[in-house]
Structure 1
Amino acid sequence: MLTNNTQIKGLTEDQVTTSREKHGSNQLHYKKDSGLLNMLKSIVGEPMVILLLITSSIYFFTGNTGDGIFLACAIIFVAAISIFQDSRSRLALKRLRQFTKPLCKVIRNGETRQINSTDVVVGDFLIIEEGTTIAADGTIIRSNDFSVNESILTGESFSVEKDANKGNNQVFMGTMVTGGLAIIEVTKTGNQTELGKIGKSLEEVEKEKTPLQTQINNFVKKMVVAGVIIFLIVWGLNYLRSQDILDSLLKALTLAMSILPEEIPVAFATFMAMGAWRLMKTGVVVKQMKTVEALGSATVICADKTGTITENRMSLAKIYTPQNHIKEPEAELNEQEKELIRVAMWASEPIPFDPMEVALHEQYAKLYPQDERPSFKMVHEYPLGGKPPMMTHIFENKKGERIIAAKGGSEAILNVSALSENKKENISKTVSKIASEGYRVLGVGLCTDHTGEFPKKQQDFKFNFLGLVAFYDPPKKNISKVFKDFYNAGIKVKIITGDNANTTNAIAKQVNFKGYEKSISGEELMQIPEAQLSSRLKDIQIFTRMFPEAKLKVINSLKRAQEVVAMTGDGVNDAPALKAAHIGIAMGKKGSEIAKQAASLILVEDDLGKMVDAVAMGRKIYSNLKKAIQYIISIHIPIILTVFLPLILGWKYPNIFSPVHIIFLELIMGPTCSIIYENEPMEKSTMSRKPRPISNTFFNWQELANSIIQGLTITGGTLLVYRYAVGESFDETNTRTMVFITLIAANIFLTLINRSFTHSIFTTIRYRNPLVPVIIGITLILSTLLLVVPDFRNFFGFSPLNSSQLVVSISAGFISTFWFEIPKFIRRKAKLAEM
């Protein structure tokens, strides 16, 4: 349970239930188009379905009812697969949305608790602070230097100041808090809010095509264009020979079906949606599909220190006053040391959420049983700002007594304190000593002689330097292994933090971080010219005292150096850098809503170790998708050429296949590429390879050449079987059966061979993928039924094969694919020679 210092009781559980029954839930409800209807519309518009509809209609029109019924069933089967894949994607996205629902703080039964924003009711008291999204409309009842970005409603990007004591005291659902803190009483929820009335839904996600999706779509479009051209040629040739327009059209449609690689877009959609779903199950929420692509290419991870490398459970570990030595807070403290902690508490938020401020409030409560906090009210606040940063709070009681307390970076407090240079130097040495042991050090100051109006800048106060408070935030237990995993994967790691150099270097050393010896501050970084920055960044791994502009400069410089940058962050100040990075990573627990909105990926448990899993998943998805698409290209080539070449070359049986044969092969290939390869495990060497350059195109010439050569060798095998059958004077049905079985065998062997382009089939056969025997088993059963069941055999125009004919067909399928093990063996040998 969170601390509640507000003296506000809030609603009871019974009042919450009554309010929800009266006013409804805090969700936006809009009439949406039927997902099933839209899906069916898109299915009907698919080129393959259009071809099937045309072909089926021609069969019915010409009296070939059996063929027409088969193709009609094929349409239903294709639609069922599409609906199944789409429902998987929708379910994954629905669960992703559940994970990304924002949380909010509410006061109920006198306690501050964190709840889902959809559970807010009218009458609740919400605590809203910098970096959060406001969960409902309400009226401010308390505020401190509070400002909101209302661009979602007004279109204006600048912040608007709000105050409980002025007319501008209303806040609205969906707007973002850009500064300060406020408590509001909820007046409207759900569709009754201003956001609900104007009909804007926060759940709507703008759809954009990713680079990989664009490449795939362009490839498919080129294949469609080629298919149309060849279709017209074949239709013309067949018509010239037969003078039968419908028969020639059917034969041309056969070829068009063989050319269309409709499995590729299906495979892409399946891989991306299921990849996002698998990542979510590991505690990584991917907000944008393009992030899944980028994960496999990440070359640099810029990590925050607090909460990412460390536990983010700050404990007050040491205190120091100029009159005394360094001391632990649990020791017996004198009045000066107690006053240091008291003023540090007043310099914190009244309702603390930062772990350091929570620790100060707790320590104050131990030292001062007579609590002063209810007697004082914050009258002015200077939020965290400056370089180095500091913050100042001004409290006043009914007697007019003021407390003007400040805390921040030790350099910042020393700069505004009335101390001699000699004393400042001695204190700086103490700071260095404490920080070098891994403690986070803050200076504390108190202003006692200010009256009248408050200055515009907090630095214009003259503070008495009271001392230092030092916090210890232990490194996470797994962080050393996380860094090691990143290094092994060829990924560089940089620490970007607002803390000072000594503290950061000490923590970095403790966790075996490479490059802990050297660091640079944000101020120093800003002085380096852009032309020299990239070369300097290669040698520097730790960046301290960083502010938003400096973080952004680092990210942009790394991007210009062709690095693929991942950036972790949790605060409002991190948002620009998170948005600029290729992969913005927000923390799920301690991250602000602004950070989560700017990021493309959320770590649910704030565990950087999950990024290792995410990178591995990104590499695995990309690798498996590439295997699937290379398989599709390789197996389509022999189908196309087996239909096309006998016709063009004028062989004895020019139209060996009809649409029913092609669609049967297509129905086998679809599950193979989008189910088997999607479920393939990650290869052992995946995380020991260097990241692939993001500039690499998905269809590079070497890989395309591999697929084309594989396709041509399978074509060679099928056509040799064709010529063998003709040479042996087999009839058309016998020849067709042998060629068909050759393609089926080649399909099965290709599936197994292409599970890895490096490792041997004798290695990959041991990979754990239960779907491999299932899909191959179904293929074998169906193929057997086509040969042994007379009705099926007659329908497809097949004939029984004797053992020698089966051996010839299966051997041709085996040899035309298994040869690829030789180049794989050569690659393995070459790789071993390089090591």
Structure 2
Amino acid sequence: MSKKRTFEYIRHTVTMPEKINIPKHFKGLNDLEVTESREQFGSNTQTQKPKYHWWIALLELFKEPMLLLLISVAIIYFILDQNSEAWFMLIAVIAVSGISFYQDNRSRKALEALEALNEPLTTVLRNGAIKQIPTSEIVVKDLVIVEEGNLINADGEILHSNDFSVNESSLTGEAYSVFKSEKTEDRKIFSGTLVASGLAVFKVTEIGTETVLGKLGASLINIREEATPLQEQIERFVKKMAYIGIAVFILVWAVYFWKTRDILHSLLKGLTLAMSILPEEIPVAFTTFMALGSWRLMQEGIIVKKTRTVETLGSATVICTDKTGTLTENKMSLQAVYALANNKLTQEGDWNDSEIQKVITMAMWASEPVPFDPMEKTLHQVYEKITQSDDRTSFQMFHEYPLDGKPPMMTHLFQNNHGERIIAAKGAPEALLASSTLNEAQRQQVLLVSDELAAQGFRLLGVGFSDFKGMDFPKTQQEFTFHFVGLIAFYDPPKENISHVIRQFYDAGIKVKVVTGDNNITTRAIAKKAGIPEADAFINGADLMQLNESELITTIHNTTLLTRMFPEAKLTIVNALKKDHQVVAMVGDGVNDGPALKASHIGIAMGKKGTEIAKSAADIILIDDDLSKMITAVAAGRRIYANIKKAVQYIVSIHIPIILTVSLPLFLGWQYPDIFTPVHVIFLELVMGPMCSIVYENEPIEKNSMQLPPRAMGTTFLSFKEMSISILQGLAITIGILFMYQYSAHLYENEQITRTMVFTTLVFANSILSLTNRSFLYSIFTTLKYKNNMIYTLNVITLSMLALILYLPPVASFFKVVPLSVSQLGYCIVTSGISVLWIELLKWRRRKRILK
């Protein structure tokens, strides 16, 4: 999905209400009134951190240790009257600042794009028309329309409602929903609360920081978000390196001063080494990888609400997915109807029987008057075709019981001007049967037909009506006595690509659990068509809740189909898997999925059919409701994590020879202790920074990544084995560099030639290392085929700059180097190649072991 299309999704393709029954005299504000209100009361934005300014960002850069070191070196050079070196250091300050500013800007823009996509939309009345606007554009006196599943985004007073209840637990801690209307004493509703049922139109009274939530948010805005395990590991690593750098700086400064009694040159030597030790590229790389990873996913149609989620994606071990609309197409066609009155079962569109038509008609009355669910839309469409007289305009719904119960059902009450009443219910057949007047023989007959239809993969609903009189309605719909009239069966076929998607999950070591409110027979039929293995084992929600902790974990691991699940059961499944150290991805789209989505490591909501509360609770939104996008997301998570490791291993490996080349000649008393100056070190730093944070971020996923098991969440970022390989690489390059040092020093007995050959060898080794470390499994000949033009571009630039340093006299003089002959260049290339390419032997042995 292109970036443009992604933004169009947010702004235009969010499902608009087809029809909302509200009083006709409600017109809302006109454009002029909106402008006046915004000028008087401001915008609907919560307290935010200070606005971004580029000059503040630049000033922040000067808190970075590397820039402070460069400035210190420049000052010393000016004092020593070495002005060309001083100006070079100042140019280096600009270059390093520019690279950091560029990376920060890329990351910030990616995050701003994500924030814009994550802004919720609100339905309002303006100029007499219903429209959806970004929440930040709500103004005081707006008329806002909210329905079941919506988050309320401003404080206000109810003007009109229909069976409206709101969950205010986010403000009060009270878990139960509160019924409110324009007729109740308490007509106030508040931003941040959730519509539990019905519909309301309210007039906005407070927005932004003036809302109750806004006043609470002001005190929370500066609370720092907890660091992720990966962030903590990287921070610890960088701090350790910084402490080592300080210690070595003091040691080198002391030793050099003791030998020379020259304080300024001693400081230069110490600062040179400090620059070579400080791994300032790593934190920048981490931020860049996460932000740009989220941005890339956004372009694929996957909105990541927090960049920290990217870190978790590659670790997912279990995905709990619902059935309807995720495994299936969410296209509910009416396939069969069973009428109990004449014991007739009709399939494939033959709805001419009068009793069959009664079942369809009652099911339509049990649906929402303005349907948004695919099944209810279908029922209204079929009703239009079979009815002789459309009574929908004659009857008004005056009371309803929303979908609830275990298993669930829903009941709607209608009445016309003559006082005639319809009380219709539909839901899980077991739910209707439990409240029905049927005898045992009739129940068994219904269950027999139900099992027969469910085995074909149909989704079943029982239908009934009540002849309850009076207005003292029972507290719950289950207390009605219903006359069971029949069954309706819908078929929602599996998505075409779903079996391939499921196979990819299992290939990646991710187990799939189907968590659904449907019955086990229907779920089993769909699961088998979707290619889900072990689709015979199931457990229902009520039975699951009776298990103790050990039984629960064992049962969940051994069971693929988790049917007749209700919110508490879904949450129990997620928490049990988390306790068993699984990394859980939870797919949900309904209001009742909110707790499980929030509790899971990776909450996944659907962009089209997902409710607002599901999207709010989730970490990821799949714009096209396509589960295959989760394969893309998991692959991205694994790619990013692997590339961060490669970048850090590259930095560790190349820093070691720089550190040792600067320090060992001094400590060992070799004839050229100043072989590298700050000028040489900063040139290498300018090469390494972009290689780490720009080039490796752009590396493609390795071809075996999605065939490997997920990494454990608690694993160390760089294991002892991985760190050992990096250290060995660094030591091998150091050996090559020091060999070249001794070889050229003895052969030519000239400091400039020695410096030139050592410096050239290290630059060549850096380029070869950047290519070799693209994979620690596949050979360099394989990775050269990977599509990443940046790595070749940067290496060409690096080698071109080396050529200028060696063969352009003014530059060579500045770097204190001399031109090399072809044979001398050959020695440098061969030495650097041997010191780096030995790792290919280890890769070969590893391939033989792993890729058998």
- Deviation string 1:179-217 (CA, Å, 9 cap, x unpaired) is 112231443585596369749489999633111011000
Find out whether 1:3 has 2:18 as its counterpart: yes
**Percentage of identical aligned residues:** 50
Distance in 2 of aligned mates of 1:5 and 1:740: 74
The residue aligned with 1:592 is 611
SS of the residue 1:373 aligns to? coil
User: Structure 1 residues 26 and 4, CA, compared in 2 at 3 Å: closer, same or farther?
Assistant: farther
Distance in 2 (alpha carbons) for counterparts of 1:105 and 1:311: 27
The alpha carbon displacement at 1:591 in A equals 1.2
Q: Secondary structure at the match of 2:652?
A: helix
Name 2:10's counterpart in structure 1: none
Name the SS for the 2:778 alignment partner.
coil
Instruction: Find the counterpart in structure 1 of residue 60 from structure 2.
Output: 42
Match of 1:89 among 74, 86, 107: 107
Alpha-carbon offset, residue 534 of structure 1: 2.3
Counterpart pick for 1:51 among 69, 81, 86: 69
Query: For residues 51 and 555 of structure 2, what CA distance do their matches in structure 1 show?
Result: 54
CA, structure 1 residues 771+357, in 2 after alignment: closer, same or farther (shift >3 Å)? same
CA distance in 1, matches of 2:495, 2:452: 23
Q: Conserved in 2, the CA contact under 8 Å of 1:475 and 1:507?
A: yes
Distance, in Å, in 2 between the alignment partners of 1:37 and 1:699 is 36
Matches within 5 A, 1:284-303: 284-303=302-321
* Candidates 671, 681, 685, aligned match of 1:666: 685
Q: Which amino acid is the alignment partner of residue 826 of structure 2?
A: V
Q: Which residues of 2 match residues 263-412 of structure 1 at below 5 A?
A: 263-324=281-342, 325-328=344-347, 330-368=349-387, 370-412=389-431
Hey, what's the Cα distance between the residues in 2 that align with 1:332 and 1:480? 34
Quote the offset at 1:814 in angstroms.
1.0
- TM-score, normalization: structure 1? 0.94
User: Could you tell me which residue of structure 1 aligns to residue 229 of structure 2?
Assistant: 211
- The answer to whether the 8 A contact 1:10-1:125 is kept is no
Q: Which amino acid letter does the alignment assign opposite residue 87 of structure 2? A: I
Matched to 1:486, the amino acid is F
Q: Name the SS for the 2:161 alignment partner.
A: strand
**Cα distance between partner residues in 2 of 1:359 and 1:159:** 30
Are the counterparts in 2 of residues 638 and 711 from structure 1 also a CA contact under 8 Å?
Answer: yes
1:757, CA displacement in angstroms? Answer: 0.5
* 1:242 aligns to 2:260 (yes or no): yes
User: What residue is the counterpart of 1:175 in the other structure?
Assistant: 193
Q: Could you tell me which amino acid in structure 2 is paired with residue 567 of structure 1? A: M
2:501 pairs, out of 482, 490, 498, with 482
Aligned to 2:13: none
Give the drift of 1:684: 1.2
The equivalent of 2:541 in structure 1 is: 522
Q: Which amino acid aligns with 1:349?
A: E
Task: Provide the rounded CA distance (Å) in 2 between the counterparts of 1:76 and 1:147.
Answer: 59
Change (3 A) 1:5 1:604: closer
Distance 2:825 2:165 in 1: 78
Q: Does 1:140 align with 2:158?
A: yes
User: Partners in 1 of 2:543 and 2:121 — Cα distance?
Assistant: 38
Aligned residue for 2:412, secondary structure, equals strand
Check whether the contact 1:634–1:711 (CA below 8 A) recurs between aligned residues: yes
Measured in 1, the distance between the counterparts of 2:598 and 2:485 equals: 39
Q: Is the 8 A contact 1:26 1:136 kept in 2?
A: no
Q: 1:801 to 1:332 in 2, by over 3 A?
A: closer
Whether the 8 Å CA contact 2:675–2:751 is kept in 1: the answer is yes
Could you tell which deviates more after superposition, 720-729 or 35-44? 35-44
Of the three residues 253, 256, 262, the one matched with 2:271 is 253
Q: Helix, strand or coil: the match of 1:698?
A: coil
Indicate how the Cα distance of structure 1 residues 187 and 46 shifts in structure 2: closer, same or farther if over 3 A, else same.
same
Is the Cα–Cα contact under 8 Å of residues 760 and 821 in structure 1 kept in the other structure?
yes
CA contact (8 A) 1:85 1:270 kept: yes
Please state whether the residue corresponding to 1:728 is helix, strand or coil: helix
Cross-structure match for 2:637? 618
- Could you tell me whether the CA contact under 8 Å between 2:276 and 2:659 is conserved in 1? yes
Say which of 78, 88, 101 aligns to 1:70: 88
CA distance in 2, matches of 1:152, 1:530: 29
Partner secondary structure for residue 538 of structure 1: helix
Q: Which moved more, 1:361-370 or 1:190-199?
A: 190-199
Counterpart CA distance in 2 for 1:529 and 1:152 is 30
The answer on whether the counterparts of 1:4 and 1:112 sit within 8 Å (CA) in structure 2 is no
Listed as ranges, the gaps of 5+ residues in structure 1 are: none
**Counterparts of 1:662 and 1:744, CA distance in 2:** 11
8 A Cα contact 1:303 1:493, kept in partner? yes
**Alignment CA distance shift 1:372-1:110 (3 Å):** farther
Kept in 2: contact 1:344–1:405 (CA 8 A):
yes
Q: 1:438 Cα deviation (Å)?
A: 1.2
Which blocks of at least 5 consecutive residues in structure 2 are unaligned?
Answer: 1-15
Question: Can you list the C-alpha shifts for 1:564-600, whole angstroms capped at 9, x where unaligned?
Answer: 2111001121112112211111111111222122211
Kindly indicate whether residue 40 of structure 2 is the aligned counterpart of residue 22 of structure 1. Answer: no
Per the normalisation by structure 2, the TM-score is 0.93
Deviation at 1:366, TM superposition (A): 3.4
**Which one is further off, 403-412 or 167-176?**
167-176
Distance 2:637 2:422 in 1: 53
Q: Report the AA paired with residue 23 of structure 1.
A: S
Change (3 A) 1:288 1:224: same
Partner amino acid for 2:575?
Answer: N
Partner of 2:3: none
For 1:679-708, what per-residue CA distance to the aligned partner results, in whole angstroms no more than 9, with x for missing partners? Answer: 111111111122222222111000000000
C-alpha RMSD over aligned residues: 2.5
**How has the CA–CA distance of structure 1 residues 359 and 112 changed in structure 2, closer, same or farther, with 3 Å as cutoff?**
farther
The aligned amino acid for 1:4 is: K
